[in-house]
Structure 1
């Protein structure tokens, strides 16, 4: 069989790719679709990673009503580690637009940023709340816009109470456990007072960890952090309180990076190492949050007996 037509098509595709790479838009498209492996040949000295949406361990499949699944911690950590291993990368820019999310995944990203060998600057766009602020505490500096929402240094634990509904439906609860608190928080039974104290103790423990981590990372008095009472603040108020280092746009942040590097920052966005088809499906997704995840989180819970999150 003659392979000439097939080879011709391959040649046309290759030519199209080369042609696209000669334009700014083409280079950007190829870089996004291929994870920066093609179309981004310019020199760079700064890696940019983005944390957008609710922070989760892994990417769930979003429903049409819930929208994108949020920031996947494992992906973000992988990007930061790849940047740290890249000899061309001298600085890290972490863009944050997140209301928070799961506890340990948030801490994984914070630790990766803290371990990066070079200057690290976090930049809050719309929202840097709770788990997002936890991540920012692992960076050398935090920048925000005047109208960014910043803070929400607190922890939420929740459980559905389906006991009344179960009674109406004639559903009874019977479970066999070993260990007094093994079924504490199960939604089909009323929670006992000692169980409530036990579960609240876990939340309080997470909160103290949060306060201690922010205190060390941001060089703040722990009592000042507690005095915020998990409020969110506009960027200018957050800056006055010391929750934010500087206010400005991304251009201002790049000017700061120039000072830190002693050279103009050439920024390359590091993206998850996904397949080509998956990039076509999700490459254009962007989520903007107008409030903390007290609103967003109500629609993104994955279920379970007790949900504990930074939000």
Structure 2
């Protein structure tokens, strides 16, 4: 038997009916993959060996009632957050078999997304990701589908573990990408594997003679070494696929394609992902849920909405504009009766950068707080960020808008500073030496000779 999936099926006692093993091998070998190599190859090997099953790939939709800062439900009863939990590698269509439903499919993700999108009780959607990526086939169709749904409901990607390659493509289609300090994104590249089993065939005394018509008919056949022509063709295909990937991410994130391409499929964690433009802001699951709850409790302009941003900035500009000549000054009582106007005037006369000024106006009003106290709080957050992370206005604005306690701000900044040396460099899932070792282990595990030996055959 020369088919390695078939051989593995027999060795694992799955008989001839092992569609997960056989169909997955057909889908991933010699096919373009949008996957982070060191994690993805281990997962592929695990599925082929039966060590990874459907229990390791999860697609689950939940609905949560929106709560305000006090933890109490906000608004009407039908006011829910829809959450799509996606874990594990992804394939185009379902691959059910004896070991379960197989890896998560893009088709199932689309059905789940549409269900939440069309549910009037769901006001926003979170795509919570923990995936190294998956097949190229079907990925961009799903990404375009999510991207085209922008504007119907706020859609957030939450990366509190990792979303690489195809997983990052899905995240980029969302309105915002929230990432934890240790979360990973990126790997905008394409990989393809050709398994040459001719050496193993020779060891077991098996000779395969191809009978074919058409010079390219047996290109990529695993029983023969890869020809130079087939290799060149594969590289052209991979470059075309990578260009499509780069252009899609650039469109979704509003970046230049050259900037995305220049990352050379690198992976980024936490603040480094925000800095390179691959994430909107730092935040955990609890931060995002709190943000959505506060947004429902008091509807300030939504982050990332250009029209609302312009309205907030216009309010600052209007408050800062000089009075019209001969116009009668507003009585002091008007300022007292309108705290929002007093805050806008105080912000306009402050030295806060525009991004922080808008964040102050978006921040939920605090009982008994004066405009001067709000400015003082924002300035303290700005100073803390400047001292720790060289004045990152995006991060400071996020803290201010969420009204993060100053002690919490300082604690988080110190943690970020401790990781700064590692986070500002390209970080992959495993060191190069460990990845090499893993590749060698996988090849050894897939060697039929070793399989026979380990099973005592």
TM range (shorter): 0.5 to 0.7
1:1-311 equivalences in 2 (<5 Å): 43-56=78-91, 57-61=93-97, 69-116=102-149, 117-258=152-293, 291=429
CA distance in 2, matches of 1:237, 1:70: 30
Residues 273, 279 of structure 2: 8 Å contact kept = yes
Partner of 2:94, secondary structure, is coil
Partner of 1:244, secondary structure, is coil
CA distance in 2, matches of 1:241, 1:142: 13
CA distance in 2, matches of 1:178, 1:86: 54
245 and 36 in structure 1: CA distance in 2 versus 1, 3 angstrom threshold: closer
Partner of 1:96, secondary structure, is strand
CA distance in 1, matches of 2:270, 2:139: 21
Residues 179, 284 of structure 2: 8 Å contact kept = yes
Determine which structure has the larger helix proportion and give its number: 2
| Post-superposition offset of 1:170 | 2.9
CA distance in 2, matches of 1:159, 1:208: 22
Segments of 5+ residues of structure 2 without an aligned counterpart are 1-59, 64-76, 300-427, 447-457
CA distance in 2, matches of 1:208, 1:260: 37
Determine which structure has the larger strand proportion and give its number: 1
CA distance in 1, matches of 2:279, 2:98: 32
CA distance in 2, matches of 1:62, 1:235: 39
CA RMSD of aligned residues (A): 3.1
Residues 157, 176 of structure 2: 8 Å contact kept = yes
Partner of 1:92, secondary structure, is strand
Larger radius of gyration: 2
| Post-superposition offset of 1:179 | 3.6
CA distance in 2, matches of 1:262, 1:210: 38
| Post-superposition offset of 1:202 | 1.3
Residues 46, 92 of structure 1: 8 Å contact kept = yes
CA distance in 2, matches of 1:151, 1:212: 14
CA distance in 2, matches of 1:36, 1:220: 32
Q: Structure 1 length as normaliser, TM-score?
A: 0.66
| Post-superposition offset of 1:166 | 1.7
137 and 91 in structure 1: CA distance in 2 versus 1, 3 angstrom threshold: same
Task: Count residues in correspondence.
Answer: 233
Residues 197, 223 of structure 2: 8 Å contact kept = yes
Tell me which of the two structures has the higher relative contact order, counting C-alpha pairs closer than 8 angstroms and 6 or more residues apart: 1
